[in-house]
Copies of this chain bind each other. A is one copy, B any other.
Amino acid sequence: MKLQLGQTDIFFPVPAALIVGSFENKVDVATIAWVGMVSSTPPTIGISFDKSRYSLSLIRQSGYFTVNIPSADYYKETDYCGIVSGRNTDKASVAGFSYYHGTRTKTPIIKECPFNLECKVTKEIELGSYIMLLGEIVETYIDEDKTIVQNGRAKIDIEKVNPLVYCATVREYWKLDKKVGTAFNAGKDIVQNELGERNGQ
Contacts and interface: CB of A to CB of B under 8 A. Distances in A.
Given A140-B4, A143-B1, A38 B187 contact: no
Interface in A89-120: 89, 94-95, 100, 103, 109, 111, 115-117
Contact of A139 (B4, B147, B175): B4
A22 interface: no
Interface residues of A, number: 105
Nearest to A123: B125
A121 interface: no
A18 interface: no
A176 to B, nearest CB: 5
Contacts of A44: 127-128
A151 interface: no
6 tightest A-B contacts by CB? A36-B36, A41-B128, A80-B187, A79-B187, A177-B177, A39-B127
Given A80-B190, A171-B184, A173-B186, 5 more contacts: A34-B39, A39-B129, A40-B129, A79-B185, A127-B134
